[in-house]
Amino acid sequence: MELYQLLIDRYPRDTDALFRFAEVATDTDRLQEGEKAVRACLAIEADNVYCRFQSMLLKIKENRFGEVVTDYRSLPQSIQDYPWFDAPLGLAWTCPHS
């Protein structure tokens, strides 16, 4: 985690580093830090599939299932078929959401 923190401190517009930081933060239940990195990544590149995916995983961990479905529906058609989106979307559909 510290390595990725150093990377994003040095290169704050590096979307790969922001994604990796968010991924590690999510895996270690540091969800607020992960969300901050995902937001930064998507502010730089709104259609970044890795950060969109990580955003969905963060929302799954926070039981925000309806937002995952909404996020998927709002994806540009050009990236909706990205295979990683199947996992969070499937989880969101099987859990109660509003």
Say how many domains are in the chain: 1
Contact indicator for 34, 26 with CB cutoff of 8 Å: yes
Continuous H helices in 1-98: 2-10, 15-27, 31-44, 49-61, 65-74, 77-80, 86-94
CATH number of the domain enclosing 20: 1.25.40
Range of the domain at 26: 2-94
Q: What's phi and psi for 46, nearest 5 deg?
A: -60, -30
Total-model pTM: 0.91
For the chain, 98 residues long, give each residue's pLDDT as a single digit of tens. Answer: 888 899 899 999 999 999 999 999 999 999 999 999 999 999 999 999 999 999 999 999 999 999 999 999 999 999 999 999 999 999 999 887 55
